[in-house]
């Protein structure tokens, strides 16, 4: 590996999986940050390895018609966003191409049709939480792309305005801290700020949890528990991809997290007689809504904090139980006849023992919620080899301006 830095002209051919554009240089694959497919750019080589190299576009010689001016002054340095230089419709086109290619190349799914993305109503100011790194000076910021350095920021274009107002109050006060987390309930107005800032007595900080509302249900979310980040409601009509026949009015205030939950419920097609397993259930995000429409639900989650939250959130429901364990440990212990399984793993996907347990369980339906196309494709290949078939692939854009891809895949047992 070398760390040469020099400029080359390069024709960019297609999208990379982490937000880059891909070209070739001297027989090597070249991943170019901040370029777009079809552009010719002047690229600064930043790192060369044996089979590929990394670069960044420092000048655009032939711009794409989809190129737009990024509104954020930190774009190009901050590692949070990769696509602010592309119009939103083209961002979805790129993500669709990446998802389709990953399913084909890694998953061997050559005949599967990827449905068009469900877009965000507004692709800015959607995040309900940020994790800020600190500098010795006390400045707060995000990590510079491809480094471990913190870039001080005073405003984030993809974060909800109330969090940005808090960021302005806390900026410069992070000395001695490793990270600062700010979380916000868009429908409750509650904040969680960790750690506590005792030098700001007029600002409540150090909260153990906050609350958020999803499809009318109230959720407690502790400081270390995961929750969906895109919970800001916008007035919109439900997309056609979500049939949801139980909803009389298809217009209303829905967040992207609401739509994701509705999409999962829609693909389960519950009649009220089913036993459903919700694996990697977190604080019960899907579990509780499934319980309203199924006979019985078993939530599996290894995080003790999340399980405690889920149990609180399930108050009043008598057809839910939670198992605090790894999914690969809990699945073989289930004795009920399971009609459907919901999977929502982290980006690493399902560990091999989870796939083995799923194939042994033989639930007639699996609804797989993924935030990483590569691990999704890997797991789908194994499930298909084990006797399942993919019947629907529906991506939904939970993270505009970034390379992250959320997908809901429905599988049926043969």
For the stretch 134-144, what's the b/e string if a residue is b when 16 or more beta carbons lie within 10 angstroms of its beta carbon?
Answer: beeeebbbbbb
Contact between 388 and 360 (Cβ < 8 Å): no
Listed residue (135, 136, 170) closest to 152, CA to CA:
135
Task: Find the catalytic residue in 72, 78, 156, 371.
Answer: 371
Report how far residue 148's alpha carbon sits from residue 144's, in angstroms, rounded to the nearest whole number.
7
The DSSP 8-state label assigned to residue 332 in this structure reads: G
* Token pair recorded at residue 159: 């974060």
SS3 of 233, please?
coil
First-last CA distance in the chain: 47
Q: Is 371 a catalytic residue?
A: yes
Q: Whole-angstrom Cα distance, residue 74 to residue 133?
A: 15
Do the Cβ atoms of 290 and 215 come closer than 8 Å? no
Distance, in Å, from the CA atom of 165 to the CA atom of 167, rounded to the nearest integer, reads 5
Residue with tokens 């006060």: 173
Calpha distance 56→139 (Å, rounded): 26
Catalytic residues: 371
């Amino acid at each position: 590996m070398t760390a040469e830095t020099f400029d080359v002209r390069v024709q960019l051919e297609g999208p990379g999986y982490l937000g880059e554009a891909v070209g070739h240089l001297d027989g090597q694959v070249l991943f170019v940050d901040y370029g777009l497919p079809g552009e010719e750019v002047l690229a600064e080589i930043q790192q060369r390895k044996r089979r590929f190299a990394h670069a960044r576009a420092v000048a655009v010689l032939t711009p794409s018609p989809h190129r737009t001016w990024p509104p954020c002054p930190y774009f190009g340095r901050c590692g949070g966003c990769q696509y602010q230089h592309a119009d939103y419709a083209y961002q979805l086109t790129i993500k669709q191409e990446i998802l389709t290619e990953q399913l084909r190349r890694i998953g061997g799914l050559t005949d599967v049709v990827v449905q068009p993305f469900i877009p965000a109503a507004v692709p800015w100011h959607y995040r309900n939480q940020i994790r800020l790194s600190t500098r010795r000076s006390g400045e707060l910021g995000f990590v510079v792309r491809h480094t471990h350095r913190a870039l001080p920021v005073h405003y984030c274009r993809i974060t909800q305005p109330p969090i940005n107002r808090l960021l302005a109050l806390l900026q410069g006060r992070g000395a001695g801290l490793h990270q600062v987390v700010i979380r916000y309930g868009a429908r409750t107005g509650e904040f969680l700020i960790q750690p506590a800032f005792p030098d700001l007595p007029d600002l409540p900080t150090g909260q153990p949890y906050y609350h958020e509302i999803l499809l009318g249900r109230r959720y407690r979310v502790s400081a270390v528990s995961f929750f969906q980040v895109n919970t800001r409601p916008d007035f919109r009509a439900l997309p056609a991809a979500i049939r949801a026949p139980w909803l009389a009015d298809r217009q209303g205030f829905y967040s992207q997290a609401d739509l994701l939950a509705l999409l999962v419920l829609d693909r389960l097609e519950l009649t009220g007689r089913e036993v459903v397993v919700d694996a990697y259930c977190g604080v019960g995000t899907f579990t509780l809504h499934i319980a309203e429409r199924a006979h019985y639900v078993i939530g599996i989650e290894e995080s003790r904090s999340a399980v405690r939250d889920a149990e609180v959130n399930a108050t009043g429901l008598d057809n839910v139980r939670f198992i605090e364990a790894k999914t690969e440990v809990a699945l073989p212990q289930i004795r009920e006849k399971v009609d459907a399984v919901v999977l929502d793993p982290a980006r690493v996907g399902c560990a091999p023992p989870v796939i083995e347990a799923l194939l042994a369980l033989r639930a007639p339906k699996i609804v797989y919620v993924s935030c990483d196309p590569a691990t999704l494709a890997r797991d789908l290949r194994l499930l298909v080899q084990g006797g399942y078939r993919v019947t629907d692939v529906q991506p939904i854009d939970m993270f505009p301006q970034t390379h992250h891809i959320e997908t809901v895949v429905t599988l049926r047992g043969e």
